[in-house]
Structure 1
Amino acid sequence: MSTSSATKIVSINAGGRERSPGPRLVAECGEQLGDGLCNWLAGIRTEIVEELFVLADGTRDRHLQTRYLDLRHDLERDWTRFIEAFRHALAEQDGNAAGGAAGALEVPDFDGLQLIEDDELAERIVLREFAAQLTETCDAELYPLERRIAALLGHDEPRDGDNPLAPQPICQALLDAGAALGLDARDRLLLARRVERHLHQALPGIYRGINDYLAERNILPDLKRSYRRRPPATAAKSAAAELPEGAGDILGALQRLAAVRGGPGLLRALPVADAAALPASSVAASPASISHAFLASLNEAQHVDWQPTAGIAMNQVRALRDSAAAQQVSPLESVTIDIVAMLFDFIFNDADLPDTVKMLVGQLQIPVLKVAMLDHSFFANRQHPARRFLDGITGVALHWGSGAGADDPFQVRLAELVGRIQREFETNVEIFSAAIGELEAFVTAREEKEAETLSVAAEAAARREAEEAAGERARQALQPILERPQPDVVRDFLATHWAAVLRQKALLHPADAAPWQESVEVAEQLVWSVAAKAASDERMRLISGLPMLLARIKAGLSAAGIDGEARAAFFDALVELHAAALKGAPADGDSQAGAGTTPAAGEGDLLVTRHVEDGVTIEDVILVGAAPMRRVRDREALAQVRALKRGDWVDFIDSDGRIARERLNWVSPHKGILVFSNHRAARAISISPEALARQLRDGAARVVTEESVFGRAIDGVMQSLGAA
């Protein structure tokens, strides 16, 4: 933990062991996690049992169909007991995690080892799979949470197994809860898989709430999530642990090709299996081991300005491959040059990569070649400083979409960093580490500026959501009143002007508050007042109550800002209606509201409105007049929307084919309204889930997949070499 970060948290262990505020706060967070998950589980019971019914209905295997239906019956009967068992199991997982760090280092008792049953082994495998997938989904939320938990436990950095709130204990608790219901292994896994599918949508929000809770208590309140997670490397880890699965493939291909050129002796000297397991320093070369003449030629080429030819990126490495100096290098160096040249071929031919990124990466061809020749683990190790900087360019490129202007702040900053590396890099790769640190700090600063736009847009979206909820409450309150027999003029008044009064009251008061109830009562009294009064006591009641009723109507209209002309026309009509009612005659135009006259909804239309608040242009997009989206592709698009999480990027494509790339920065906790923004302008898009799903379905929007530029090129090289 940096000194600056450490000074921004409360001293949580200064009070001695008796107070133990750190573990206490961790325990409170565990309770918050349990409460959030249990409340969420209570709400998905219907979806789970319906999914099991669909599974049963869709299979012809009678045995499997019976299993699905039996599990559905058990859950319908025992869902509350399942939730309580889950809560208990999760609490036990938290308790075990508290002492797990010490126990993990103990030497195991090999005398007690025994074979694992097939069902138990299957559970362990699925548990690990579920936990890994949820960890990936919640990556943005777990990054700050793990650091806050580490701070509470008095650690400088997060440690494996220290976070009792991680996805793994949650997945284990789900399986344990199924066991508590008496489910066998197959049913436990089936249930866990159904729940896990929904958990991907719910868990990030619960984690965000816990992060907010800790930040409010001054636990790393200023911690900012960088745009790319970077797990810390420790001296105790070997390169084999740090490299991703399959990391030895490209190293092996490199050595096999070198062996072909240099003879079998080289292959025996550098066995493939050993190369993947050796520490990175063992794979690295030294500047002295590289051909002096070729290294000198690289240094000379590095300081020559690289310019694309006719707007097309030129592969500088491939041109160097044919130089006289390159002909004198060793077989291993020769193969390294060829592979780097192939990498840049794939990068320059990548149709999904903006030209701005290609131009920036193109300036790094010679530094990258030097890095690869100095350290062959560069190809496989994603944590290598040069790889991280190249991947950082990819992350920043997400802000650009189809391109960036010369004055784009990200473009300017990246160009400065790339230029510095091109000018100053010799053999010390720490220049890449410094560049990625500066880039991360720059991105964080820009995101803080963007947060100002987000704040305005999020407040506007929340206000719009509140207005929609108020309108819905007014509609529900008026619906039974409008269905009663009444003159059309009264029904029109209630449906328009008095609905506006009720919307205003709903914004200001809850449903059990007197001002709201009185406003609903006025609508009921108005309908009663224009009905024919046959009995004398009804006529006296109308005469005595009329002044108060009219005063309350006028007060409500004034508060809602209804114009005087509309009010005057209604009150003129009301005089005649009340006169007729006192005579016991039904008013002209009395009618019963028609039922079933609402036209059938079809595809619906996207309604786009724009307004400016505090200098921020907000574009509101909703879907109106649409039937429930039941077609397969509509459901798939809506599921795609629900899978989005904060930080994801979406391209919005207008009718002229212009693309605006926006990042999801806020999701309403009530109706799921999504707010997108970007650093380029004080502009935001506030869009309903149904509207975004329609745009995704129709190709007017698309979710952007974040991929590493260099990782994609590496995959292409491996396929070309036949080693993938």
Structure 2
Amino acid sequence: MDTLPVNPQRQHDPSGAPRVQMLQAMVPVAVNLISSQLEAFASRLTQALFKVADQNVRPDEATSSFQTYQLLKRNHSSFYRLAASHLNSALSKEIGVMNTRKRLGEQGNLQDMSLVPFEEMENKILTSNLCKSLELNNADQLVGLNIRIGHVLRRTPIAVSQNPFRPEIFVHAVLDAWQEFDSNSKDSLPLILRLLQPEIFLQLNPVYQGLNDAFVERGIVVDIEGAKRQTKKRMVFTRREDLEASDPYLEHKLRNIFSDQNARKENASLPGFSGAESWGGSGDGMETITVDRQFFDYLTSIQRNAGTPDGVASGMHLREISRHRQSELTHIDQNTIELLARIFDYVFNDPHIPAEIKNLIGQLQIPTLKVALMDKDFFFRDSHPARVLIDTLAKSSVLLGNDASAEDPLYQMIEGVVERVQQEFDLQIDLFSDVVADLENFLREEEKQATTAISEPVQEALKQEKMRLAREFAENDVAIRVETGEVAGFLEEFLRTQWIRILTIAHNVKEEKPNALENALKTMDDLIWSLKPKNSAEERKELVSKLPAMLTLLNAWLNAIKWDEPERVIFFSKLAERHAAIARAPLELSPRRQLEIAVNIAQRASEKRLNRQAQDHVPKESDEWETMVDALESGVWVDFTNQADVTTRYRLAWISPKRTRYIFSSRQGHDSFSVSADELTEKFRCGEAVKVAAHSVVDRALVEALRDPPL
């Protein structure tokens, strides 16, 4: 049989080496930042050793501590060199294993500690505690670093345990350096471990900050806050490593489809799959495989002739090829075709993908089959270029909605991408990466234009959010004064209805006019003071002298908000009566009367505080719709249905900084509208808004394709 040798290891990810090289370039950055700290670190450790030696009441421990102190003090430069060397080696080693699919290091924590000597167990516990403390102290910087490294590797944000610069690496490098530095380290290591608290150990925050800055300088700029929220709220698995987490048997099934060990038995419950013959190697790496040259030529001839018959949008086309050429295909080839057919079945049944785009995606069945035959990593790796293309096309189709038109520039772009793959693809998987890059550049440019188109609505929404926050500040200013119990009832109503409006304006303009807020607050405090009982002639005299200016300011503020209702006349009438009553009151209140007033004030204050606490602590039932709105990210698509039962698809184009306003628009930025978080939540709750699923369609299809069918 004429065969075509293919080595998927060299072809499936041509950009992998540069990405790892970027991580390798970070090693000297980290080592240099650590090296600049080694002297200060050794000094802190030396002082801690001396303190233990000086204060320890046990002679043997004091002697041991002093000897260790002397050793480090006299040979600190040797320790510097060893620490830097061990750190450089450890980081380089970690970078070298970044591309492996599974990390075995985490299994070390599961070992049985019952047979470990107490001293060794204590050392492990102290080391683990130090690592955890350092992770907590540097959590924000570590999260940012995880996201950027994941971006470099074209993965979702990696876990701390996968970060080659995690605190554990620095801790073990220092400990390894110490054991080489001190020939008697068996005795001194427990002492060092007990002293290595985060405040004494290397300060990792500036190291992580420097690494993050270095990534940014190299063009790795990502939305850190958005990525954090996306990771936190993510409801589906989209990484190959997560395949096992969603169903531990799925990857096992996938590997059995392409292996010869117990294949017939494992696949007996999967209709459509044949018993498999061996392919590739063991473990994660795939050895060179061969495919039938004649069969490849046959597929290429179909590919050049538009790939699928007109109107065929299902995996049946692939199954027909399998049946037609069954005698030429190995069991592995047949299983590959069946699995791929199932994936395309799922794509074609996705209700969110317009029929026109399904027809275009259908034309990629043959090129994708050729890729899958020569590179089984297509099924295992979500960043495989051919897999990314199908996902990108599916996500792009969401932008078109159900009214996809051949005149739409995006439709024409998708059509051009499909045509290029049909006409040009043979063995160079790089082509898929090229067309994905072209499509993504087109989408970015379109999004950039849409962002410009909504600039005015964004400014208006920012004003609305600013005013809302100002209102909250104003309400709090009034509440803390009312809670004292010293505010008369009619004045409390005035403050809550009218003066809040004034304070809202003052808070809103405080950056431009800070004196306005100060003036409004002082006028409110003077008004409250003017209605408090006056127990002496001096206080009454002060009231009489302040009233004219206070009333003038009060009227000026009320004129600013144009409060001209009859209630204003009634309010000033009550105010004048209260002021007159205070002025006519006996010069000296009796102790009994003063006590009654104080008790009444305390009672009112207590009631006000209890009422507010009760309101603040009213249990709020969790609402899935509020959670979903809080998890929304810019760029998601939502179908809105109006009262006429007409559904229109809009993109979430912008979210205000405090997430109180959301702006939606069409793909080009037209027909934009703004809604509050509460309004949007209610639309989702009553079904007037429905989020369009846009996560990896191939991931979902693969999971579905590998599940056991009902018996």
What's the TM-score once normalised by structure 2's chain length?
0.55
Q: Which has the higher contact order (CA 8 A, sep 6+)?
A: 2
Q: Which residue of 2 aligns with 1:506?
A: 507
2:707 alignment partner, SS class:
helix
- Please point out which of 283, 286, 311 is paired with 1:279: 286
Tell me how far 1:548 sits from its aligned partner: 1.5
The equivalences for 1:319-718 within 5 A come to 319-321=320-322, 326=325, 329-332=328-331, 333-351=333-351, 353-397=353-397, 399=399, 404=404, 409-452=409-452, 460=460, 462-479=462-479, 484=486, 486=488, 488=490, 492-509=493-510, 515-527=516-528, 529=530, 540-558=541-559, 560-562=560-562, 569=569, 573=573, 577=577, 580-581=580-581, 584=584, 628=618, 630-631=620-621, 633-634=622-623, 644=631, 646=633, 649=636, 651=638, 653-654=640-641, 658=647, 660=649, 662-663=651-652, 666=655, 668=657, 672-673=659-660, 675=662, 677=664, 680=667, 681-682=669-670, 683=672, 685=674, 687-688=676-677, 706-718=694-706
* CA deviation after TM superposition for structure 1 residue 543, in Å: 4.2
Is contact 2:367–2:422 with CA below 8 Å preserved after alignment? yes
CA contact (8 A) 2:315 2:341 kept: no
8 Å contact kept, 1:127–1:172: no
Q: When the two structures are aligned, how many residues end up with a matched partner? A: 534
Instruction: Name 2:166's counterpart in structure 1.
Output: 169
SS at match of 1:630: coil
Say if 1:529 and 1:578, in contact at 8 Å, map to a contact too.
Answer: no
In the TM superposition, 1:219-298 aligns within 5 A as 219-220=217-218, 223=221, 249-250=253-254, 252-253=256-257, 270-271=277-278, 274=281, 279=286, 282-285=288-291, 288-290=293-295, 292=297, 294-295=298-299, 297-298=301-302
Per-residue CA deviation, residues 653-695 of structure 1 (Å, 9 max, x unaligned), is 5465746454485463xx554646456235365544x666666
Alpha-carbon separation, structure 1, partners of 2:532 and 2:241: 82
Shift of 1:218: 7.4
Q: Which residue identity does 1:348 align to in structure 2?
A: F
State which drifts further: 333-342 or 387-396: 333-342
1:386 is displaced (CA, Å) by 1.7
- Tell me: CA distance 1:342–1:640, structure 2 relative to 1, closer, same or farther (3 Å): closer
Q: How does 1:62-211 map to 2 (within 5 A)?
A: 100-102=90-92, 117-118=111-112, 142=145, 145-146=148-149, 166=163, 169=166
Question: Quick check: 1:385–1:430 contact (8 Å CA) kept in 2?
Answer: yes
Contact 2:148 2:222 in 1 (8 A): no
Deviations 1:339-365 (A, max 9, x none): 443433333234565545423311222
Aligned amino acid, residue 348 of structure 2: F
Amino acid in structure 1 at the alignment position of 2:697: V
Q: Specify whether residues 523 and 214 from structure 1 end up closer, same or farther in structure 2 by C-alpha distance, changes over 3 A only.
A: same
Q: Is the 8 A contact 2:486 2:605 kept in 1?
A: no
Q: Which residue of 2 aligns with 1:306?
A: 310
Counterpart code for 1:101: L
Cα gap change, 1:300 to 1:346, in 2 (>3 Å): same
Q: Is the 8 A contact 2:257 2:263 kept in 1?
A: no
Q: State the TM-score, normalizing by the size of structure 1.
A: 0.55
CA distance in 2, matches of 1:451, 1:535: 66
> Matched residues in 2 for 1:401 and 1:140: separation?
35
Residues 128 and 407 of structure 1, relative CA distance in 2, 3 Å threshold = farther
Q: Is the Cα–Cα contact under 8 Å of residues 144 and 225 in structure 1 kept in the other structure?
A: no
Distance 1:98 1:710 in 2: 40
In structure 2, what is the Cα distance between the partners aligned to 1:115 and 1:258? 32
* Offset, 1:285: 2.4
2:260 and 2:277 in contact (8 A); partners too: no
Counterpart amino acid of 2:703? D
Mapped to 1, the partners of 2:582 and 2:241 lie a distance apart of 90
| Alpha-carbon distance in structure 2 between the residues aligned to 1:105 and 1:25 | 17
Contact map agreement 1:94 1:165 (CA 8 A) in 2: no
**Counterparts in 2 of 1:458 and 1:534: CA distance versus 1, 3 Å:** same
Whether the 8 Å CA contact 1:653–1:659 is kept in 2: the answer is: yes
> 1:434 Cα deviation (Å)?
1.4
For residue 435 of structure 1, report the CA deviation from its aligned partner. 0.6
**Corresponding letter in the other structure for 1:145:** R
Which aligned pairs between 1:35-74 and structure 2 lie closer than 5 A? Answer: none
2:683–2:689 Cα contact (<8 Å) kept: yes
Distance in 2, Cα, partners of 1:478 & 1:102: 60
Structure 2 Cα separation of the partners of residues 345 and 271 of structure 1: 27
Deviations 1:299-357 (A, max 9, x none): 4643677335xxx768433444565xx36633455554444434333332345655454
1:676–1:684 CA contact under 8 A, matched in 2: yes
| Per-residue deviation, 1:453 | 6.1
Q: In structure 1, what is the Cα distance between the partners aligned to 2:141 and 2:261?
A: 41
Higher radius of gyration, 1 or 2 = 2
Deviation at 1:436, TM superposition (A): 1.0
CA distance in 2, matches of 1:563, 1:211: 57
Distance 1:554-1:436 versus aligned 2 partners, 3 A rule: same
Letter in 1 for 2:291: A
Percentage identity across paired residues of the two chains: 20
SS in 1 for 2:281: helix
Give the distance between the partners of 2:469 and 2:358, measured in 1 at CA.
Answer: 48
The 1:654–1:466 alpha-carbon spacing in structure 2 relative to 1, beyond 3 Å, is same
CA-atom RMSD, angstroms?
A: 6.4
Cα distance between partner residues in 1 of 2:441 and 2:167: 34
Matched-pair contact (CA < 8 Å) for 1:454–1:677: no
Q: Which amino acid aligns with 1:718?
A: L
Unaligned runs of 5+ in 1: 7-11, 29-92, 108-113, 151-155, 175-205, 229-240, 261-266, 602-624
Gap runs ≥5 in structure 2: 1-13, 20-24, 38-82, 98-107, 114-120, 172-204, 228-239, 245-249, 265-273, 587-599
Offset at residue 467 of structure 1 (A): 2.7
